[in-house]
Amino acid sequence: LNMRAIDLTFTISEDVDWIGYSLDNQDNVTIQGNTTISIPDGYHFIVVYARDTTGLIGASEKVYFVVDTTPPHVDFTFSPEEPQASLIFGSYKWELTFNASASYDLLTNITSYEWDFGDGSKGYGRVVTHIYREQGTYEVTLKATDFAGNTATITKNITLPPPPSEPISQATLMFIIVTVTIGAVWIVALVITYKKRTANLKRLKKS
């Protein structure tokens, strides 16, 4: 069993000739000086007893506590399970949602979730969304910490497929737009010039 040492601190209001305690309704144990109690993981309670010089025994209230030295169980899912690239403003991006709802702790609550997305970025929270900007395989690591400070991690590989085609840069896109626009203007100008010359020729023939 995992064991954790705790200090038992109490005060006595009068002279006594015996002090002891009972852990989880077990037999009384005499306390002699500073005492360290080794307690396994779980939910517990303790009662301290004292006997004064007249033979009367007093008892403290039950003190309930939890000992937790066990790391939490961690797991996560991601969606979509087959991520696809989306073309946004001339570049491809992969957007994924990571969910750590499958993680739990048997004794205390998980108090923090820390994500390492494998591309130099980090995230925090049970459910997070992250955007990747390059295709490839990334090691995604989740670290969970419970109320007692125990931690556990899990790592999964996430593979992002290549985009359907090479993205068009914004500069290239602007060049194409400008080129097409200029070409269209020249075509219109040539058509107008051609029509004017045709009209002039017709006038000359009539004269």
In the chain (207 residues long), the average pLDDT of successive 10-residue segments reads 64 90 94 84 94 93 92 97 88 96 96 98 98 96 96 97 69 57 55 63 56
Nearest to 68 by CA among 109, 112, 9: 109
Cα–Cα distance list, 84 to 7, 130, 160, 167 (Å): 56, 14, 7, 14
User: Residue 63: its pLDDT value, please?
Assistant: 92
User: Residue 140: its pLDDT value, please?
Assistant: 98
Left, alpha or beta for 89 (phi > 0: left; psi -120 to 50: alpha)? left
User: Residue 201: its pLDDT value, please?
Assistant: 54
User: Residue 143: its pLDDT value, please?
Assistant: 98
User: Residue 191: its pLDDT value, please?
Assistant: 57
Nearest to 153 by CA among 74, 67, 65: 74
